């Protein structure tokens, strides 16, 4: 059975983090019109996923925790009115620590159906947070998690970034220790990257900030694997670690080829046949009267593109890439191509084979995207 989910993009932030290349901005422009436009888009695109049962709703951004309880409930109600939401739905809110004071968390728990929090901690050290230009401090980071637990949230994930200049191996281990001491069941951890057109890129080029050192990021990744292993977390996707029963249902939809509708500016959607992107332009988004006007681009995936995507996403996960699936969906010729390429990587200990399933070896996970691209068919 294919799972289906809904993503809602909230582009507001209190300040722009140096490394950020998401569609988000530090202003409240069009705030009221935006929520109305979201409600309108949800209605306009109600047929995108047919009659599929929706298993997950994910508020991402931007900083969705900047929305107040009424705004969140209006959006959730609209989704409930328009789609078939599962009784066991996972509803995640991305939240920044500075928004999660006791009152806000209490209200989220008591007055909304949000049952999973994704807290953007990034680091428990103030100097890292300063480097990243995060708006919160380390005390707010721990307080927000403790407040969330006290309020009764038992499904919490935390984001941590490694490879930050100045983050020594000792400090990285301390960050992970603080995380494990808080007894959270899910961790998403990413290597800091310098994307073009970000403030970080400019500041590094002007030598106002130190550049990242790739070898340090690599060492941090192996420490991450070691520490999560020790604490019985499964490395179930390149950047995601969890205890049994706490995997992100929503992100698993992306990784397992499920279907999703994305609402809000810049949001992506995929229904098994077509993929589309909304405009990254708030003015145009709120002024659009039709679903077509909101779409920036739409493409129908060829069989080769679908195959490439399957290999790319499945190799990143602990479920691995299954040649039985390739045979059933893409045909024998693709199995042959896959096995031919796989033999080289098995020989180099980058790939492990168990019956029809191929997985990356522990060491090779760091190079997942490069290895996957060797399998691409054009």
| Binding stretches for ligand SF4 (CB under 6 A) | 13, 16-17, 20, 22, 24, 61-63, 96, 120
Of 19 and 310, which has the nearer Cβ to ligand SF4?
19
Of 99 and 237, which has the nearer Cβ to ligand SF4?
99
For the chain, give the longest Cα–Cα distance. 58
Least CB distance to ligand SF4 at residue 96 (A): 6
Rg (CA), the chain: 21
Least CB distance to ligand SF4 at residue 283 (A): 19
Of 41 and 99, which has the nearer Cβ to ligand SF4?
99
Bridge partners of 4, per DSSP, are 259
Query: Which of 176, 170, 90, 97 is closest to 135 using CA atoms?
Result: 97
| Sheet strands (E) in the chain | 4-10, 53-61, 84-95, 116-122, 156-162, 186-191, 234-237, 240-242, 259-263, 268-270, 274-278, 295-300, 321-322, 351-354, 357-360
| Sheet strands (E) in 47-200 | 53-61, 84-95, 116-122, 156-162, 186-191
Of 190 and 222, which has the nearer Cβ to ligand SF4?
190
Least CB distance to ligand SF4 at residue 218 (A): 23
Helix axes 169-181, 214-230, angle to 10 degrees: 30
- CB-closest chain residue to ligand SF4: 20
Of 133 and 361, which has the nearer Cβ to ligand SF4?
133
Least CB distance to ligand SF4 at residue 232 (A): 29
How far is residue 99's CA from residue 76's CA, in Å, rounded to a whole number?
20
Least CB distance to ligand SF4 at residue 197 (A): 13
Residue 336 tokens read as 């042959």
Least CB distance to ligand SF4 at residue 129 (A): 11
Of 120 and 264, which has the nearer Cβ to ligand SF4?
120
Least CB distance to ligand SF4 at residue 193 (A): 12
How far is residue 154's CA from residue 117's CA, in Å, rounded to a whole number?
9
Of 9 and 350, which has the nearer Cβ to ligand SF4?
9
Three-state SS for 213? coil
């Amino acid at each position: 059975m294919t799972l289906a989910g809904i993503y809602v993009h909230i582009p507001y932030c209190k300040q722009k983090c140096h490394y950020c290349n998401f569609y988000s901005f530090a202003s409240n422009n069009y705030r009221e019109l935006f929520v109305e436009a979201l409600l309108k888009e949800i209605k306009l695109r109600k047929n995108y996923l047919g009659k599929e049962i929706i298993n997950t709703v994910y508020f991402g951004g931007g900083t969705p925790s900047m929305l107040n309880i009424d705004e969140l409930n209006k959006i959730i109600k609209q989704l409930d009115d328009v789609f078939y939401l599962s009784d066991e739905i996972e509803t995640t809110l991305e939240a920044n620590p500075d928004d999660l004071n006791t009152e806000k968390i209490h209200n989220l728990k008591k007055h909304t159906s949000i049952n999973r929090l994704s807290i953007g901690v990034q680091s428990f050290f103030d100097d890292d947070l300063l480097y990243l230009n995060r708006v919160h401090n380390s005390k707010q980071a721990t307080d927000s998690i403790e407040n969330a637990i006290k309020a009764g949230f038992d499904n919490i994930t935390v984001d941590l970034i490694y490879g930050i200049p100045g983050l020594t191996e000792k400090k990285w281990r301390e960050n992970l220790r603080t995380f494990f001491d808080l007894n959270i069941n899910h961790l998403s951890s990413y290597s800091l990257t310098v994307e073009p057109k970000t403030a970080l890129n400019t500041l590094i080029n002007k030598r106002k900030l130190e550049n990242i050192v790739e070898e340090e990021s690599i060492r941090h990744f192996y420490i991450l694997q070691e520490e999560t292993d020790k604490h019985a977390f499964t490395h179930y996707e390149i950047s995601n670690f969890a205890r049994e029963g706490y995997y992100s249902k929503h992100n698993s939809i992306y990784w397992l080829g499920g279907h999703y509708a994305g609402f809000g500016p810049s949001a992506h959607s995929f229904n098994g046949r077509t993929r589309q992107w909304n405009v990254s332009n708030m003015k145009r988004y709120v002024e659009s009267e039709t679903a077509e006007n909101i779409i920036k681009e739409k493409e129908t995936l060829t069989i080769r593109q679908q195959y490439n995507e399957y290999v790319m996403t499945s190799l990143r996960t602990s479920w691995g890439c299954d040649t039985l699936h390739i045979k059933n969906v893409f045909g024998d010729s693709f199995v042959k191509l896959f096995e031919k390429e796989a033999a080289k990587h098995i020989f180099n200990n980058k790939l492990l084979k168990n019956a029809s399933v191929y997985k990356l070896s522990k060491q090779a996970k760091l190079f997942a995207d490069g290895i996957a691209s060797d399998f691409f068919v054009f």
